Amino acid sequence: MIWTKISIDTSCEAVDLLSAFLDERGVEGIMIEDNVPLTDEDKEAMFVDIPLITGEDDGTARVSCFVRTEQASDIADAEQASFNVESLKADIAAELIRLKEFIPVGTMNIETSITEDTDWMNNWKKFFKPFRLYDNIVIKPTWEPYDDKKADDIVVEIDPGIAFGTGSHETTKLCIVQLKKYLKHGDTVFDVGSGSGILSIISSLLGAGFVHGMDIDEVAVRASKENAELNNIAEDRLVFTCGNLLGENVIGRDDSYSLTGAYGKQPDSSDNPYLNRKYNIVVANILADVIIPLSSVIGAYLGEDGYYITSGIINDKEDAVKQALLSNGFKIIDTLYMGEWVSIVATHDNVAVH
């Protein structure tokens, strides 16, 4: 399908009014780019610890939208019928001139470019090549050849999809270092927040006897299962489920389990075979703001002499995570740094949290 991208250089003050104007014209998928700093409330709502790079707030903004420029093929597509781009550009220019009488509207420059939705879906793949994640661990996208395999290499086949990680981030590398240090052949592993399944798959390939990966996103779970199949790992060795240890509902592989998990309380996992067990290793490569409350419930899943490997912790939250772990019966035995990120390994006394 062919689309035209229309980009308008304007001011931050005009963004809302211009967006409303486009919406009234039936334009969907409006994108806004500006340099307005995020508030603390904005950052908390985004729920990320990734350092955000912003430019100087100069009051300018760019409003972009994508409009279909080919005729609808059938009645079902009638609402998606093509726009007359030149007519729409003229209407936008006229609206900017009208708004200029009341507020700053910037340069009012309007640009157009042509794209296809196939570009959005596939162009990213050309930047994802096989790479050595750590030591003898190699990540290989399924569509790329890999001819440099060494005798002891562990090659992980992966098709992460657009929404999930490729494993290249420092937080994943930190987890790999710790897994290679603490995982013994035959160990059981619980990967909390498994994403595309990379850590679960690597744990299995490193010799884990059984791995349970859990994520709150059902789409991520489906992608993880597909990646496990790509690496020929059977379900009796690696299982993915959808659930949230800090929420009220945890969904198992085939059934929905009504649990009562909450901060400071252990979920009632009697009906879930994957949650009603203890693991030699629990790994959580998530975020500090998740690991902190998770520390009050995760001890229930850690077996005697087990290791809790955490990552995804940005360095300025290291102390808060350590304090949460210590307050919930953990003993910190290892801390590893890479760039701005921290991995903390702890053991637990295995006393149930009530």
> What pLDDT band is residue 118 in, cutting at 50, 70 and 90?
low
195 with 333, same domain? Answer: yes
In CATH, what number is assigned to the domain containing residue 90? 3.30.70.120
Q: Which domain-ending residue is among 121, 154, 177?
A: 121
Asked whether the whole model's pTM tops 0.75, one would answer: no
Residue 271 lies in a domain: yes
Q: Which amino acid is at 77?
A: D
Q: Which helix (H) or strand (E) holds 320?
A: helix 318-327
Whole-angstrom CA distances from 160 to 47, 143, 173, 216, 235 are: 21, 11, 17, 16, 19
Q: Taking the C-alpha atoms of 117, 122, 126 and 129 in order, what is their torsion angle to the nearest 10 degrees?
A: 160
- 36-45 pLDDT per residue, tens: 766 666 555 4
> What pLDDT band is residue 80 in, cutting at 50, 70 and 90?
very low
Residue 264 lies in a domain: yes
* pLDDT score for 74: 41
* pLDDT score for 83: 78
Q: Which domain-ending residue is among 88, 105, 121?
A: 121
- 188-201 pLDDT per residue, tens: 999 999 988 999 99
Residue 257 CA to residue 190 CA, distance in Å, equals 18
Q: Give the contacts of 83 (CB within 8 A, at least 6 positions apart).
A: 4, 27, 67, 68, 69
By mean pLDDT, which of 149-153, 263-267, 324-328, 346-350 is the weakest?
263-267
The HSE-up count of residue 248 (CA atoms within 13 Å, CB side) is: 0
174 with 275, same domain? Answer: yes
116 with 173, same domain? Answer: no
Q: Which residues pair with 115 in a beta bridge?
A: 3
94 with 176, same domain? Answer: no
Domain hosting residue 22, numbered range: 2-121
285 with 175, same domain? Answer: yes
Residue 311 lies in a domain: yes
In CATH, what number is assigned to the domain containing residue 256? 3.40.50.150
Residue 33 lies in a domain: yes
State the angle between helix axes of 85-99 and 15-24 in degrees (0 to 180), rounded to the nearest 10: 140
Residue 182 CA to residue 118 CA, distance in Å, equals 43
- 143-171 pLDDT per residue, tens: 888 888 888 899 988 776 644 555 567 89
Q: Which domain-ending residue is among 100, 121, 142?
A: 121
205 with 284, same domain? Answer: yes
* pLDDT score for 343: 97
Residue 36 lies in a domain: yes
* pLDDT score for 132: 85
By mean pLDDT, which of 11-25, 89-103, 251-265 is the weakest?
251-265
* pLDDT score for 55: 56
317 with 178, same domain? Answer: yes
Tell me the average pLDDT of the chain.
Answer: 81
* pLDDT score for 249: 39
Residue 190 lies in a domain: yes
* pLDDT score for 56: 63
* pLDDT score for 42: 58
Residue 326 lies in a domain: yes
* pLDDT score for 162: 46
* pLDDT score for 318: 97
pLDDT above 50: residue 302: yes
103 with 32, same domain? Answer: yes
344 with 237, same domain? Answer: yes
Instruction: Give residue 26's region: left, alpha or beta (phi > 0; psi -120 to 50).
Output: left
271 with 210, same domain? Answer: yes
Q: What are phi and psi of 32, to 5 degrees?
A: -120, 130
- 215-233 pLDDT per residue, tens: 988 888 888 999 999 999 9
Q: How many domains does the chain have?
A: 2
> Which of 18-27, 52-61, 111-120, 271-280 reaches the highest mean pLDDT?
18-27
217 with 337, same domain? Answer: yes
Q: What are phi and psi of 62, to 5 degrees?
A: -125, 125
214 with 284, same domain? Answer: yes
> What pLDDT band is residue 117 in, cutting at 50, 70 and 90?
low
Q: Report the Cα 132 to chain-centroid distance in Å.
A: 21
Residue 134 lies in a domain: no
